[in-house]
Amino acid sequence: MNERRVVITGIGCLSPLGNDLTSTWEGMKAGRSGISRITQLDPEPFDCKIAGEVKNFEPDGYFNVPKDSRRADRYVQFAVAASKMAMTDSGLDVSTIDPRRFGVMVGSGIGGLATLENEHTTYMTRGPKRVSPFTIPMMISNIASGIISMEYGLKGPNMVIVTACATSNHNIGEAWRIIKFGDADGFLCGGAEATILPMGLCGFGNMKALSTRNDEPERASRPFDKNRDGFVMGEGAGVVMIEELEHAKKRGAKIYAELIGYGVSADAYHLSAPSPDGSGPAYAIQMALNHGKKNANEVNYLNAHATSTGLGDIAETKAIKLAFGDHAKKGLMVSSTKSMTGHMLGAAGGIELIASVMAIKDSIVPPTINLEDQDPECDLDCVPNVAREADVKVALSNSFGFGGHNASVLVSRFE
């Protein structure tokens, strides 16, 4: 069973850089920031007044029945849209497959926060009878996967893993594992998030986790830079179609890359802070390399979790050095696309795996922008400010979540 190979055949995304793959990837290659002053609500009462918003998004066209979008939280709208893009991109005709062999694992770190806020306000101002009967199904974190399966009639494994900012990588990795084990032939998998809301801004802001560089939004997300002051919240979705290789070949699918490894671990250290020695992520990275049968020096590019927080970027640097040894500073390119998108929380890993795949496909490594004075404790080749042409054959994407959850996904050029 473990000899079954898994390839990526479809990509869909929405991000602060654009509402599809082309605009998102072009933005990354150009080193463009998607961060600006918040427009979805009045940001004045909050310490952090900036975020990476998805702009000009119209959900109706992505649902089989357009009015169904009004019974979906914004995070679900993103998830459905990205899934439709990935499905269309893959060229898969669902009428030709066994629907029991195709599953969905599109998760969310926080779920329907907008629904929860709106309906709680309704309860407080208008009483319990005015709360929508759709409140619970609209806000739960698994409902995006459920709705996606209904949109396409996919009856295979359907579930989500919720691990904060590691959510996408865990959902992609476990979908990969299910295909490897023989229980499915394909999955729509990844993550979606929409938390640019009062509770999101208060919750993260009062932890002192968010940047307050409000007068320079485009320069606020600055991973590995000595003057970083916290992350910038982003929103959107990243979803990929993954398939068992022979299934993909039989239908003549285009193949972006091969998914070859997945590693998972826990820091077992702190509620929100990373283990300072980097040992937890290093173990996940090593597991992914082992699964992919790759030596450390065969990895060309690493898309870092690097959120632009003081502790996190240093801990990840240590993890990379532990896992890659001498190669960490001799040939490994490391960049954080969060410098451009902000931190998309449960959607981050989906977008960042897509960036890693496109780096392989186009032989271009996206930059870490705003890297003006590199922290000496983050002493890696962080591809500062300008994208780099490079022959990328193997890439790794890291995602880490509050609670000490670590997940690394390894992709390679398809041979």
With a CB cutoff of 8 Å and minimum separation 6, the contacts of 359 are 301, 303, 365, 366, 390, 392, 395
Please provide the distance, in angstroms rounded to a whole number, between the alpha carbons at the two ends of the chain.
Answer: 20
CB half-sphere exposure, 224, CA atoms < 13 A:
29
- Angle ∠(397,160,315) on CA atoms, nearest 5: 35
Question: What's the pLDDT score for residue 301?
Answer: 98
CB 235 within 8 A of CB 54: yes
Q: Is 378 a catalytic residue?
A: no
Catalytic site residue from 170, 247, 291, 305:
305
Strands 6-14 and 236-244: what pairing?
antiparallel
- Angle ∠(407,411,412) on CA atoms, nearest 5: 160
**Ramachandran sector of residue 9 (left: φ over 0; alpha: ψ -120 to 50; beta: rest):** alpha
Which residue's structure tokens are 């709208």?
77
Which residue's structure tokens are 């009878």?
129
CB 35 within 8 A of CB 338: no
Q: Is 120 a catalytic residue?
A: no
pTM above 0.85, yes or no: yes
Within 10 angstroms of residue 415's Cβ, the number of other Cβ atoms is 5
CATH number assigned to the domain with residue range 262-412, chosen from the 4 options 3.30.160.20, 3.40.1390.10, 2.30.42.10, 3.40.47.10? 3.40.47.10
Question: What's the pLDDT score for residue 3?
Answer: 87
CB half-sphere exposure, 384, CA atoms < 13 A:
12
In terms of Cβ atoms closer than 10 Å to its own Cβ (0-12, 13-18, 19+), residue 327 is middle
Walk along the chain (415 residues) and give the pLDDT tens digit of each residue: 568 999 999 999 999 999 999 999 999 999 999 999 999 999 999 999 999 999 999 999 999 999 999 999 999 999 999 999 999 999 999 999 999 999 999 999 999 999 999 999 999 999 999 999 999 999 999 999 999 999 999 999 999 999 999 999 999 999 999 999 999 999 999 999 999 999 999 999 999 999 999 999 999 999 999 999 999 999 999 999 999 999 999 999 999 999 999 999 999 999 988 899 999 999 999 999 999 999 999 999 999 999 999 999 999 999 999 999 999 999 999 999 999 999 999 999 999 999 999 999 999 999 999 999 999 999 999 999 999 999 999 999 999 999 999 999 999 999 9
CB 303 within 8 A of CB 352: yes
Reported in sequence order, the residue ranges of 208-256 that DSSP labels E, i.e. its strands, are: 236-244
> Of the candidates 280, 367, 198, 292, which has an alpha carbon nearest to the alpha carbon of residue 6?
292
Catalytic site residue from 13, 165, 378, 382:
165
> CATH code for 6-250?
3.40.47.10
Residue ranges of the chain that CATH labels 3.40.47.10: 6-250, 262-412
How far is Cα 120 from Cα 115, in angstroms, rounded to an integer?
Answer: 8
Catalytic site residue from 48, 343, 378, 382:
343
For residue 215, give the DSSP letter.
Answer: T
Within 10 angstroms of residue 207's Cβ, the number of other Cβ atoms is 12
Q: Is 305 a catalytic residue?
A: yes
